[in-house]
Structure 1
Amino acid sequence: MPDTISQRTNRSEDGDLTVVGHVWAPPGAARAVVLVHGVGSSSRAYAKLAGHLVEQGEVHAVDLPGFGASPHLRRDVTVREHASAVARYIRQYVLDAGLPAPVVVGHSMGAQVVGQMLADHPDVATAGVLVGPTAEPGTRTIPRQAVRLAVDAVGEPPRTIGVLIVDALVRCSVPYYLGQLRHVVDYRLEDVLPRTTVPVVVVRGARDPVAPAHWVEMLAARAPFGAHRTVRGRHHAMDADPAGVAETVLEAWLAAERGIG
């Protein structure tokens, strides 16, 4: 990051649910983007993408409750609870700071969290970017998703897999991770997106076995203001093609500023 970029850490707490935000802010930032990771992952999944976005506005890469730098939890947390926790974070650290509603990016399970948040809390985001959403009808079992993730892992960079393994097995407790997986495979994103009222862009890596093209296109069609994009890479497209994903975020920012959608 350039020397002019300031860094800070935020904590948003409500009972036992804590969202930790890792923030990079250029001088005089007038807009923000919030990045939401997938199951077993953390804000570290967005290291490359954050570097491509930070000169355009504040970047808030969050750790969801029970993941990353957030405290471990002794109970299960639903997708809706995660969505409410992220919405609370945005109100506290983006909207109350005087910035306009941000573009919110979610990857994999994070796409489910963002979709739910857009439906339940329409005031906190100006657009949503859903990267590699999972799981489409007919694949909603842990074994089927595990096979897809294993196929994906063969082609992902070793660093990407290494960070994910540490986050899933060390920074997140295994029982919590397994409980969260059950929510991921049961969640019906296609039933939530019709309730969204802001632009939603669904993004997949061109070689992503977890989010096939037909599923991404279907989700985009379900959102009232939906679109879809394909970038380079596999499931972790924001790692393989951060410039391509950043371009999609910038398009969403500019469209919001022009009042489109």
Structure 2
Amino acid sequence: MAKAGDRTSPPLQSADLEAHGLKGRILWADGTPAPGLERADGSREPAYILIHGIGVSHRYLRRLHGELAATAPTYSLDLPGFAGTPRPGRQLSVEDYGAFIAQALKASGIGPYILVGHSMGVQFAIEAALCAPDHALRLVLMGPVVDSRHRSVGRQGLALFLDSLLRESASSNWLVVSDYFRCGPRWYFTVLPVMMGYPTELRLAGINVPVLVLRGKQDPVAGADWSRLLAQVVPQGRFVEIDRAGHVAQHLRPRQVAAAIMSFTEAGA
């Protein structure tokens, strides 16, 4: 097992994940059982599963991971092709990634759980929930893509550029850009059309568990109208905005984001 840490989050342990011929990574902090191990008290408390977006890794979710791990078992994923994990030999669909997540968690003995996806991770979370409806108790969709205003690569790219220029911190931009380099342009541009073509609102309509749609109030990527629409697509939807935050709200405002998630988890939708 490996250790990875920074000054703002607890150290994380990691282990390899493998499912459907694909390889990724799972990470957790002290206090959360290692994959495959039962909790010492024998309880089956739902775990939080944090899922990153296109090109990036668990690193920009680390602060949120620390906040949630203080209250419940929490795991972060590095998906196949990202964060230095082996790149698949073919283009993967969002459904492929969802199936990988569901099977890898099952093989690791993790469940039930609450799926927390960010950006394209929202799409992955939806598909994982559709693959494992008996294990996915709730969904948290942060900064969901692709906003109906940004259905072209140019518009999506401009929204991301404006967010990084005007709304994000230097540390957030560093994490994202350095992860893009680790991902590499070839895999990033292999996955990009998959993200752009995924019908988020249509697939979300098949979800029958409570859903929280969360966005930074200044996020140009996931607009307020689009995010509210997604919350209305499901029978048990809730919409929350985080003040003074852009697309990567979980890095800039981790306590506020964690509080919104925990309130949703405890009170229901």
Deviation by residue 1:53-108 (Cα, 9 ceiling, x = unmatched): 11112211100111114212332111111111111122123xx25xx511110000
**Map of 2:63 onto structure 1:** 48
| CA shift in 2, pair 1:195/1:19, >3 Å | same
Residue identity matched to 1:34: I
Residue identity matched to 1:50: H
1:24 aligns with 2:29: yes
Residue identity matched to 2:256: G
CA apart distance, 1:137 = 2.5
Tell me the SS of whatever aligns to 2:91.
Answer: coil
Query: For residues 241 and 21 of structure 2, what CA distance do their matches in structure 1 show?
Result: 38
Query: For residues 106 and 7 of structure 1, what CA distance do their matches in structure 2 show?
Result: 19
Q: How does 1:163-174 map to 2 (within 5 A)?
A: 163-169=175-181, 171-174=182-185
Query: For residues 212 and 253 of structure 1, what CA distance do their matches in structure 2 show?
Result: 24
**Map of 1:190 onto structure 2:** 201
Query: For residues 16 and 163 of structure 1, what CA distance do their matches in structure 2 show?
Result: 28
1:140 aligns with 2:151: yes
1:222 aligns with 2:222: no
**Map of 2:37 onto structure 1:** none
Check whether the contact 2:20–2:100 (CA below 8 A) recurs between aligned residues.
no
CA apart distance, 1:206 = 0.5
Q: How does 1:41-80 map to 2 (within 5 A)?
A: 41-80=56-95
4+ aligned runs moved over 6 Å, structure 1: none
Tell me the SS of whatever aligns to 1:238.
Answer: helix
Query: For residues 181 and 247 of structure 1, what CA distance do their matches in structure 2 show?
Result: 31
Q: What is the TM-score of this pair, normalised by structure 1?
A: 0.89
Quick check: 235-244 or 12-21, which moved more?
Answer: 12-21
**Map of 2:168 onto structure 1:** 156
Residue identity matched to 1:20: R
Query: For residues 193 and 172 of structure 1, what CA distance do their matches in structure 2 show?
Result: 27
Query: For residues 105 and 14 of structure 1, what CA distance do their matches in structure 2 show?
Result: 20
Quick check: 21-30 or 69-78, which moved more?
Answer: 21-30
Q: Any gaps of 5 or more consecutive residues in structure 2?
A: 33-39
Check whether the contact 2:56–2:176 (CA below 8 A) recurs between aligned residues.
yes
CA apart distance, 1:176 = 0.9
**Map of 2:14 onto structure 1:** 9
Tell me the SS of whatever aligns to 1:195.
Answer: coil
Check whether the contact 1:39–1:108 (CA below 8 A) recurs between aligned residues.
yes
Query: For residues 215 and 20 of structure 2, what CA distance do their matches in structure 1 show?
Result: 35
Q: Any gaps of 5 or more consecutive residues in structure 1?
A: none
Residue identity matched to 1:246: A
| Of 107, 110, 115, the match for 2:121 | 110
| Of 52, 67, 82, the match for 2:97 | 82
Q: State the identity as a percent.
A: 29
Check whether the contact 2:172–2:252 (CA below 8 A) recurs between aligned residues.
no
CA apart distance, 1:246 = 0.7
CA apart distance, 1:229 = 0.5
Q: What is the TM-score of this pair, normalised by structure 2?
A: 0.86
Residue identity matched to 1:235: H
Check whether the contact 1:90–1:124 (CA below 8 A) recurs between aligned residues.
no
Query: For residues 138 and 52 of structure 1, what CA distance do their matches in structure 2 show?
Result: 32
CA apart distance, 1:6 = 8.2
Query: For residues 140 and 88 of structure 2, what CA distance do their matches in structure 1 show?
Result: 28
Query: For residues 177 and 211 of structure 2, what CA distance do their matches in structure 1 show?
Result: 30
Number of equivalenced pairs: 250
Greater helix percent: which structure?
Answer: 1
